[in-house]
Amino acid sequence: MKAVFIVKNSTPEKSFQIKETDQPKVANHEVGIKVEAFGLNYADVMARLGIYPDAPPLPAIVGYEVVGKIVEVGADVQNRKVGDRVVAMTRFGGYAEFAKTDARATAIIPENMNAGKATALATQYGTAYFAAEEMTRMQEGDHVLIQAAAGGVGTALVQLAKWRKCTIFGTAGSQKKIDYLKSQGVHYPINYREQDFVKEVKKVVGDRGLDLVFDSIGGNYIKKGFGLLGAGGRIIGYGAAQMTNANFFKKIKIGLGFGFYSPIQLLSNSKSIIGVNMLRIADHRPDTIERCLKNVVALTEQGILNPVVGAEFKMNEIAKAHAFLQGRQSTGKVVVYVK
């Protein structure tokens, strides 16, 4: 099969090679999938840059999700059969013509579901669903701030917050993305490269504060977000995009920027800090991944969620796709078609 390898930690142009390699062997609890399309995630950019601790050693095939047909089923798999069309979360290995994964990390999708939209449902919608519905139980009337709201996870969080009838503040880094956020129904879009998001939020909520902050930027964004919470408020950290271009000293500064918190402070002010890493959840509770995936597919079939494909590429355009995502140009999902 053909697969995209990261061969060195470098720029998009220098990092990738497309090579022939053996098809992955399917274990008893796994399924093998002939891939139609795979999705890009920001963690792939970090893996390419060599700043993602969970990434496999080089040369590596990364990729957290694929859409395709099951072509092989492990001996212990009961719930899937050859021919099922699925969206699947992969533990790397997604950038390829064939991929394998735990059968519990798959959800059956209709034949007519757009492959690009479906790729978004795995990592980005799965993460958003777990964070918003399971870790924080977002409620009607909540005032919610979503950082980098125009991105993949951001778009999913916006759609979940709309469904739950929340008041939504969403940040993004360009006017084009602000227009996109308006079209997605964000009540207060904020260009955080031009405006101070803390001031903009306070103008609206005053002393009431926020109920929820979803943060994928890290560092002092966590500290500022925490400062915006009212009683009962929760901040959910699930990324550290600030680390992308940071040298050693900047990384220390970003690390310290998160702030220091004591359980007594959290208890007396009734505020919570929540961390989410879906890889740890996949290791510890694969059934959680199965449930989140099943629920986002169902919500999409009901028309409640509607993933947005922001850009489409072919496999041999992988460098272009990475440059696009890293360059903060994308809205919604960046998808790569294998053929």
Stretch that binds ligand NAP, among 39-47, 94-102, 110-118, 197-205 (CB under 6 A): 39-47
Q: How far is the CB of 107 from ligand NAP (least distance, A)?
A: 17
Choose which of 32, 68, 152, 225 interacts with ligand NAP (CB under 6 A).
152
Site membership for ligand NAP, residue 259 (CB under 6 A): no
Site membership for ligand NAP, residue 257 (CB under 6 A): no
For ligand NAP, the closer of residues 116 and 152 by Cβ is 152
CB proximity list for 291: less than 8 A, separation 6 or greater: none
Stretch that binds ligand NAP, among 9-17, 121-129, 226-234, 257-265 (CB under 6 A): 121-129
Site membership for ligand NAP, residue 300 (CB under 6 A): no
Ramachandran category for residue 209: left, alpha or beta (phi over 0 → left; psi -120 to 50 → alpha): left
Q: How far is the CB of 312 from ligand NAP (least distance, A)?
A: 14
Are the beta carbons of 116 and 80 closer than 8 angstroms? no
Question: What is the rounded CA–CA span in Å between residue 60 and residue 17?
Answer: 10
Q: Give the neighbor-by-neighbor strand order of the sheet with 188-191.
A: 188-191, 167-172, 143-146, 210-215, 229-237, 272-275
SS (HEC) of 192-259: CCCCCHHHHHHHHHHHHCEEEEEECCCCHHHHHHHHCEEEEEEEEECCCHHHCCCCHHHHHHHHHHCC
- Provide the mask over 42-71, with x wherever binding to ligand NAP is found by CB under 6 A and - wherever it is not: xx----------------------------
Site membership for ligand NAP, residue 115 (CB under 6 A): no
Stretch that binds ligand NAP, among 5-13, 95-103, 120-128, 286-294 (CB under 6 A): 120-128
Choose which of 37, 70, 217, 335 interacts with ligand NAP (CB under 6 A).
217
Per the document, the length of the chain is 339
| Backbone φ and ψ of 63, nearest 5° | 120, 120
Site membership for ligand NAP, residue 26 (CB under 6 A): no
Question: What is the rounded CA–CA span in Å between residue 138 and residue 311?
Answer: 29
3-state SS, residue 179: helix
Choose which of 105, 145, 241, 273 interacts with ligand NAP (CB under 6 A).
241
Stretch that binds ligand NAP, among 53-61, 144-152, 266-274, 282-290 (CB under 6 A): 144-152
For ligand NAP, the closer of residues 174 and 269 by Cβ is 174
Q: What residues does 60 pair with on adjacent strands?
A: 6
Site membership for ligand NAP, residue 175 (CB under 6 A): no
Choose which of 12, 24, 63, 239 interacts with ligand NAP (CB under 6 A).
239
Choose which of 119, 242, 295, 300 interacts with ligand NAP (CB under 6 A).
242
Question: What is the rounded CA–CA span in Å between residue 146 and residue 261?
Answer: 22
The token pair that represents 253 in the structure block: 């500064």
| Backbone φ and ψ of 182, nearest 5° | -60, -45
Question: What is the rounded CA–CA span in Å between residue 280 and residue 40?
Answer: 20
Please identify the residue of the shown chain whose CB is closest to the bound ligand NAP. Answer: 151
Site membership for ligand NAP, residue 188 (CB under 6 A): no
For ligand NAP, the closer of residues 173 and 227 by Cβ is 173
Query: Which chain residues interact with ligand NAP by CB under 6 A?
Result: 41-43, 123-124, 127, 148, 150-154, 172-173, 177, 216-217, 238-239, 241-242, 244, 276-278, 325, 328, 330
